[in-house]
Structure 1
């Protein structure tokens, strides 16, 4: 890799420098692509911004073994609206490569490149090769001159990343990302001074690989059909694509979790006749007012090119299968009832019975779902057992101060014990929202449970007393002392929806004020700074998907409470950010892998990256289908409807609804998959949050519409839908105290 950029030379910034005496030209909007008729110059122009081909003055670059081959087009022909270019490069060992490049205008201000590389003659000692296509900005720049968008990896300037994370170290010169860890195969960089953003997208990507493709050693195999997109940041700024996909200077390939790995994971094709080496790229410009608009624009453009498929699932069937799981695994151990913290798959054996009230444990929320099912159907067993779970938390977890113990261990032969585990706001928020739901469903059925609501009030009172002057809450507190023991405040969003819900029930102005103060802090330090951080508490203080989800919930709740449009816009920005963690094109399972846990004949569209710093995926965006549908109704943006339908349906496909995976119960689903090395391999366990992710949005849809299937709701007149969602917004579907 160190040889690749030795040939870059900057040209004069004078426009006359770029005029080619004899040239072909393509236009797309305000962008121009010019190639000299002699094949010796390639220039991309937008206004007074110029990019030239990688390794200028050359227009074609290959790497063969350790040799960098640079050359020119031998012929350039204009055929209708396309430029058809041919080059032949010869290695030192005599291998002859033919490169055919076809350039055409694409969407506004963009062009496409269709490239095919053919090995016409094989040199005796040449073993492997890669091809590159890149464009270099023709002025000196620094990495700090740009705001970067690489979905799931790089947002703006990448604050709040740990050493060893991809793109965490701005002293690196190369940032190459395997496309199979990108939710859409795109990269974009926005120049801060001008607002001009340049993006590159791999079109029609089918990033195949094979079982055993792992490790830092160079692997040479035609079955690798994935590329890498990224940047070179030396004295100049280059955007490029390499095929097959080399990753570095940082890579997660072959990395031991928690360690820093610097270097390149090399992947190459063999120097053989008939090797398949072809790809299509899009590249071009958008001028945006700010970074959030860049994210929205580039993501939606790429989304529209791929148009991800919604795979319809029977939502009611998924609901019934999930309730069956809750019924099957609920166990009362010596007065401590609940669900196992994890369940082995596929055999369905419970690993351990320990209980976390919210976040990944979701004990109280799952009790609420079972309780509601029991009340709605007259199933006394469900009502009794679910009420026991809730009573266990109400009677045992709350301290006199109102603060909560959140994690208990249950035993067959003695009483439950409480772990010496910090009280995280993320955990308590999930638990308290579940408690609000349980109280509310009882109230709707004419049963008053004041002790359940008092449990919520007592905790909310603790929040009011312990809120910082700036409106923030710390990420966690020591429940023995009530003092914060971590300095992060980025999870202040977590308790806002709960406070708003409690306000709608009680009309206690203290809860309004606390929610609003927390919202103002979150608006200034999370929304304004585009820092969605710390939602995954076992991977704290890094950018992640779940922080975006929590911000959506918080800002939407504040919009409902105040009707101030700034909260709606903040929720929309968080939603735009969050969806960029969702795989919106298919990454196929590895060839010849008999160990994959991912369901056969199922694509990964709808599964989402969990956080920066790794590439694990799960169905966690399932929680948010209701909010995305709400954002569609608020904005009229059909893209958000598409996202909501994808979330509601595709996230359910990893359940064993058809029984083909052989899980003990159809409603079981695995907690986490790997989409890169060892693709489709999972942790082979279900956690309680998996069930909650399926059931929670269904209950919100039912509260708002009396129906949980978006496709059914969409058949109703828009006037009816808006009337129903506006009525829901006035109360959050909650009864009055």
Structure 2
């Protein structure tokens, strides 16, 4: 027999014998990807890495697939015996590999399977997709980050990413004609050790307990390859750390260095792992990512970890109310609290900020909303707290603004650790003040000065609008002089302007919102990614930019009926969900819970990466439950309801509740962020900020207000039910 074939949709995969053994070729839509030597290994010893490869010695048809065998000699003392089973599973080509070590040798090894695309091709010729890390190529990736232009220009051509950095262990490339290839670990395990989790220098480690892989690709000799390496050696760039709690999350400590991870060359030791490949054609960039991501979702089947949503709501509101402090005639939530003792922490704790991390105006609004669920003095106390916060901010000057908030100690305008105030903070503060005004009016109490504050803020914003639409990103505290004129975050003020137009009947606010959203779409959204949401990461691709755009486009669709905004909302939603972890990253086997911030046995499914350039995760998208539920109904796509369900429940797995407070001071508190890549299970601090509670409460309250029956349905999920 001279050839064997498998068919995967429109893809034909061929196996042919050759002098080096059987090799493989995949052909689709005028493209090909080949691997003449399917068995590849790297051996590390005495500080050096040497590569080995061979073809299959035998390959036979079996059960609609293939079974292949090879023996890869690694020198006089050891060899690898390999069995590969190839099969077709749905739209994917699937490889299940078993590797057995023969003989003993010093050092360690990894094995890999990669496809090499027909060329010539380099990284600038394709759009790469690594969820939460790369969307396209290097544009708007932090210069110091994995996948940045700076590292590429310095000669870094390999892009292997540890799968624990990725919400799904998925990596793909799209060619300019709409054809694409993606690699996925369909059965990730992710086990590691304390030594790996706390490695600050990228030192090579050999341990049989490593079960995490790396996915990615390499550029060499005019060709690109992509696939999976096991265990997960990372490089040529990896995130390192200077201290245990810097942790390698932030991109400013990325280094061009290999973080080598290997298995021991011990007689009888076995590797077992899987990798699947999806070949596609005729898709635009957004569709490539959507299809690859949904393939990963269906394959990984993320499990819903059912939470007591009603109980969580109660303790979150209690904690938020407890964070409010009073100084003379001023009131606001503390900006930073130590969740181990429940007290103010650090010099910035008394800075009361609207929007983003401070969420003070949102705190006032949510306390008003939640006061109706209590009775007697408890209800009055919660209502008084909400009113006091809102009155404090209603006295702040906003025409022009002099900051994002105030220092509670003396009442002076301030903007936290930054010397600037930001468009996003103003838009979110204005939106919450307006919603509080409408809520109170519905309940029979009018606060005309709250509405006047919103109008003053919006009218000043309109004086800052560019002729082409959009607004500056930030202004200088105390002067309102433009600091950053980039308009890419203009989506963040759209919901406020749309709502104010509906309240006042003034078309100028809606017209401004439309111009701003059109500009943002033309700059970035039309290419399927969104930037500039997080204030402390200037204009990089980030999750919050996507979720804020989703909210903005839904507001415009509902205000105008123009279905373009619904289509665009869907693109923003598709982008945003690619930051959600679909698999459970286990904490190190030899760690103690007391040393971990994210505790052993708690599923990581549902947490999300924050921004490109680092590997921190949080639960921010608890805020977006209702938006995904609305999108499901508006589009008829039930997948968005699966996303809403996952975000409603799994964002609360590390929330302290009665009977499960972890090591936190009590129910209602949750740490701001964590890392699932080194240092796995740790964050940079043990702090709470108001956004943590307001995100959870907003998601719950907005869903209940949107559809009470749907809220009850999504809240009652059987434990560990699939999210489908």
Q: Same fold (TM over 0.5)?
A: yes
Residues 517 and 714 from structure 1, CA distance in 2 versus in 1: closer, same or farther, beyond 3 angstroms?
A: farther
Give the Å deviation of 1:563.
0.5
Matched, 1:361 2:341: no
Matched, 1:176 2:160: yes
Match of 1:317 among 311, 314, 317: 311
Match of 1:117 among 93, 99, 102: 99
Q: Which residue of 2 aligns with 1:155?
A: 135
Give the Å deviation of 1:691.
0.7
- Could you say what secondary structure the match of 2:100 adopts? strand
The 5 Å alignment of 1:325-404 reads 325-351=319-345, 352-375=349-372, 377=374, 379-395=379-395, 397-399=396-398, 401-404=399-402
Count, aligned residues: 684
Q: Which residue of 2 aligns with 1:10?
A: none
Match of 2:112 among 119, 123, 132: 132
Q: Deviations over 1:175-232 (max 9, x none)?
A: 111111010011111110x211111111111111111212311111111111111111
Alpha-carbon distance between aligned partners in 1 of 2:712 and 2:496, rounded to the nearest angstrom? 25
Q: Deviations over 1:572-592 (max 9, x none)?
A: 000000100110111111111
Contact map agreement 1:339 1:363 (CA 8 A) in 2:
yes
Match of 2:214 among 209, 212, 228: 228
Alpha-carbon distance between aligned partners in 2 of 1:557 and 1:259, rounded to the nearest angstrom? 39
Contact map agreement 1:61 1:68 (CA 8 A) in 2:
yes
Residues 529 and 76 from structure 1, CA distance in 2 versus in 1: closer, same or farther, beyond 3 angstroms?
A: closer
Matched, 1:206 2:202: no
Matched, 1:61 2:44: no
Alpha-carbon distance between aligned partners in 2 of 1:252 and 1:466, rounded to the nearest angstrom? 39
Contact map agreement 2:580 2:606 (CA 8 A) in 1:
yes
Matched, 1:547 2:530: no
Alpha-carbon distance between aligned partners in 2 of 1:418 and 1:298, rounded to the nearest angstrom? 44
Residues 48 and 523 from structure 1, CA distance in 2 versus in 1: closer, same or farther, beyond 3 angstroms?
A: closer
- Could you say what secondary structure the match of 1:130 adopts? strand
Residues 208 and 713 from structure 1, CA distance in 2 versus in 1: closer, same or farther, beyond 3 angstroms?
A: closer
Alpha-carbon distance between aligned partners in 2 of 1:291 and 1:477, rounded to the nearest angstrom? 34
Contact map agreement 2:101 2:267 (CA 8 A) in 1:
yes
Match of 1:591 among 589, 592, 596: 589
Residues 655 and 708 from structure 1, CA distance in 2 versus in 1: closer, same or farther, beyond 3 angstroms?
A: farther
Gaps of at least 5 residues in structure 2 are: 243-247, 718-724
Q: Which deviates the most, 619-628 or 659-668?
A: 659-668
Give the Å deviation of 1:662.
3.9
Contact map agreement 2:123 2:137 (CA 8 A) in 1:
no
Q: Which residue of 1 aligns with 2:232?
A: 245
Q: TM-score, normalised by structure 1?
A: 0.90
Q: Which deviates the most, 628-637 or 267-276?
A: 267-276
Contact map agreement 2:402 2:480 (CA 8 A) in 1:
no
Alpha-carbon distance between aligned partners in 1 of 2:599 and 2:163, rounded to the nearest angstrom? 22
Q: Which residue of 1 aligns with 2:670?
A: 669
Q: Deviations over 1:564-622 (max 9, x none)?
A: 01111111000000100110111111111111111443211110000000000000011
Q: Which residue of 2 aligns with 1:557?
A: 555
The 5 Å alignment of 1:428-439 reads 428-439=426-437
Say what the alpha-carbon RMSD is for the aligned residues.
1.9
- Could you say what secondary structure the match of 2:185 adopts? strand
- Could you say what secondary structure the match of 2:66 adopts? strand
Alpha-carbon distance between aligned partners in 1 of 2:356 and 2:72, rounded to the nearest angstrom? 57
Q: Deviations over 1:116-164 (max 9, x none)?
A: 11012224xx321110111111332232221111101110123112222
Give the Å deviation of 1:375.
4.4
Contact map agreement 1:190 1:291 (CA 8 A) in 2:
yes
Give the Å deviation of 1:408.
2.1
Q: Deviations over 1:93-133 (max 9, x none)?
A: 3202101111111223x31111111012224xx32111011
Q: Which residue of 2 aligns with 1:718?
A: none
Q: Which residue of 2 aligns with 1:259?
A: 253
Residues 289 and 82 from structure 1, CA distance in 2 versus in 1: closer, same or farther, beyond 3 angstroms?
A: closer
Alpha-carbon distance between aligned partners in 1 of 2:525 and 2:173, rounded to the nearest angstrom? 20
Give the Å deviation of 1:369.
1.1
The 5 Å alignment of 1:690-701 reads 690-701=692-703
Could you say which structure has the greater relative contact order, defined with CA pairs below 8 angstroms and 6 or more residues apart? 2
Alpha-carbon distance between aligned partners in 2 of 1:77 and 1:640, rounded to the nearest angstrom? 42
Q: TM-score, normalised by structure 2?
A: 0.91
Alpha-carbon distance between aligned partners in 2 of 1:417 and 1:48, rounded to the nearest angstrom? 62
Runs of 4+ in 1 over 6 A off after TM superposition: none
Q: Which residue of 2 aligns with 1:523?
A: 521
Gaps of at least 5 residues in structure 1 are: 1-20, 716-737
